[in-house]
Amino acid sequence: MITAISFVNADVHRIPEVAEKIAALEGVSEVYSVTGQIDLIVLVRVSDIDDVAGVVADRLNKIEGVTSTETHIAFRTFSKHDLEAAFSLGLD
């Protein structure tokens, strides 16, 4: 599984509409509206690295209202949830 994180800037008057259209794309697992320099954070989860381009370059970037994107590919996942599961003895 390949995870990519895309930072998306959108026309300020269309952020909710853009977020909904992005969330409907196959391969997009989550879309967050955030504060700061960017408007949306998009999590893309696909089976192949080439599929990232299909989601981001071929579809997401073409949504009307998207003004720019910056995409990062995740190498590894580190989270409290994952670490707890790895060391769990199953004694809940």
Q: pTM for the complete prediction?
A: 0.84
| Burial grade of 12 (CB within 10 A; 0-12, 13-18, 19 or more) | exposed
Please enumerate in sequence order all residues whose Cβ is within 8 A of that of 35, keeping only pairs 6 or more positions apart, or say none. none
Q: Walk me through the domains of the chain, giving residue ranges and CATH numbers.
A: 2-86 (3.30.70.920)
| Burial grade of 3 (CB within 10 A; 0-12, 13-18, 19 or more) | middle
Tell me what pLDDT residue 77 has.
81
Tell me what pLDDT residue 76 has.
86
What's the distance, Cα to Cα, between the start and end of the chain in Å? 29
Tell me what pLDDT residue 84 has.
59
Between 90 and 77, the more confident residue is 77
Condensed to tens digits (0 to 9), the pLDDT of residues 61-70 reads 999 999 999 9
Condensed to tens digits (0 to 9), the pLDDT of residues 72-83 reads 999 988 876 655
Please enumerate in sequence order all residues whose Cβ is within 8 A of that of 1, keeping only pairs 6 or more positions apart, or say none. 45, 46, 47
